[in-house]
Amino acid sequence: MAPEQRRRLLERLPPDRRQRLEERLERYNTLPPEERQRLQQQLERFRSLPPERQQAARNLFRQFMSLPEDRRQVLREGFQRLRALAPAERLAWLESEEVKKRYSSAERRILEEYIELLPAGDREQGTHPQVSPLPAEDPSDEDQADG
């Protein structure tokens, strides 16, 4: 967005909304150019998905963001793991004892929805194809896992 265009847009807003949007735009603009380009490409691909799939992803994100940061970090590791697995292996991993120990039932539902949102043929490049142990469990995590 051109600075002049941004200025015109922002000056119409109430101060608090304007400040929040300015901060978000500033954070975005401080990202490295290649990261911005990557995100723009991802956004374009995401916006080309069917609307209900887009909405499901947003709903999942809302659930994710409602968790405390330490649990979000544990879930991120789960997301990363799921992306590394072949589609056929994902549900099996989700049903594994290690997952039941590490994640609460609500978190497992988030992981399950995450599987549904992952492209069927998607598998992250450069990561291990087989199931490998999760990082060592933090004992404090078990307090929040109910399985």
Partner 1 sequence: MPCPFQEAEGAELLLAYCARRLDADTSRWLERHVELCPECRAVAEQQKAVWQALDSWDALPVSEDFDVRLRGRIGRLADPPWPALSSLWRRYRVPLAAASILIGALLLIRSPGAVEPTAGLAGTPEVESVEAALDDIEMLRALELMASAGPRRAESL
For residues 28 and 147, which CB has a smaller minimum distance to partner 1 in the complex? 28
Is 66 among the residues that bind partner 1 (CB under 8 A)? no
For residues 38 and 70, which CB has a smaller minimum distance to partner 1 in the complex? 38
* C-alpha–C-alpha distance, residues 134 and 81, integer Å: 8
For residues 80 and 146, which CB has a smaller minimum distance to partner 1 in the complex? 80
Angle, helices 33-47 vs 51-65, to 10°: value is 130
Helical spans, DSSP H, in the chain: 3-10, 15-29, 33-47, 51-65, 69-84, 87-94, 97-102, 105-117, 139-142
Count Cβ atoms below 10 Å from residue 26 Cβ, excluding itself.
9
Binding mask 92-121 for partner 1 (x = CB under 8 A): ----------------------x--xx---
**Angle at Cα 65 formed by Cα 64 and Cα 66, nearest 5°?**
90
Residues numbered 8-47 forming contacts with partner 1, rule: CB under 8 A: 8-9, 12-14, 17, 21, 24-25, 27-28, 38-39, 42-43, 45-47
* C-alpha–C-alpha distance, residues 126 and 110, integer Å: 25
Min CB(142)–partner 1 separation in Å:
23
* Interface residue list for partner 1 (CB under 8 A): 1, 8-9, 12-14, 17, 21, 24-25, 27-28, 38-39, 42-43, 45-47, 57-58, 60-61, 64-65, 72, 76, 79-80, 83, 114, 117-118, 122, 124-127
